[in-house]
Amino acid sequence: MGFIPIFVALLGASFLYTIYTVNKIRGILTSIQQAKKQFNQQIELLLQLASDQNIEDLHAVLKARSQQEFEGFEKESLWIKQFLDKLSSDANADELRQALKSVEELVYQLRGNIRDYNLYITESPTLWVARLWGFRKL
Number of other residues whose CB lies within 10 A of the CB of residue 103 = 23
Instruction: Judge whether 91 lies within some domain.
Output: yes
Residue 63: predicted pLDDT: 61
Q: For each successive 10 residues of the chain (138 residues), what is the average pLDDT? A: 88 94 93 87 76 63 57 63 64 69 82 90 89 88
∠ CA(45), CA(30), CA(66), 5° rounding?
A: 30
Can you give the pLDDT at residue 26?
94
| Residue 80 pLDDT | 67
Domain region containing 102: 36-111
5 domain residue, yes or no: no
Q: What is the dihedral of CA 112, 117, 118, 119, to 10 degrees?
A: 90
Residue 2 lies in a domain: no
Answer yes or no: is 26 within a domain. no
Res 46: pLDDT: 75
Residues 62 and 43: beta-carbon distance below 8 Å: yes
Q: What does the pLDDT read at residue 47?
A: 74
To the nearest 10 degrees (0 to 180), the angle between helices 56-66 and 74-87 is: 160
Number of domains forming the structure of the chain = 1
pTM: 0.71
Does residue 86 sit within a domain?
Answer: yes
62 is a domain residue: yes
Cβ contact 73:103 at 8 Å: no
pLDDT value for 24: 93
Q: What's the full length of the chain, in residues?
A: 138
Specify if 41 maps to a domain.
yes
Exposure class string for 4-28: b at 16+ Cβ within 10 A, else e: eeeeeeeeeeeeeeeeebbeebeeb
Q: Is residue 43 part of a domain?
A: yes
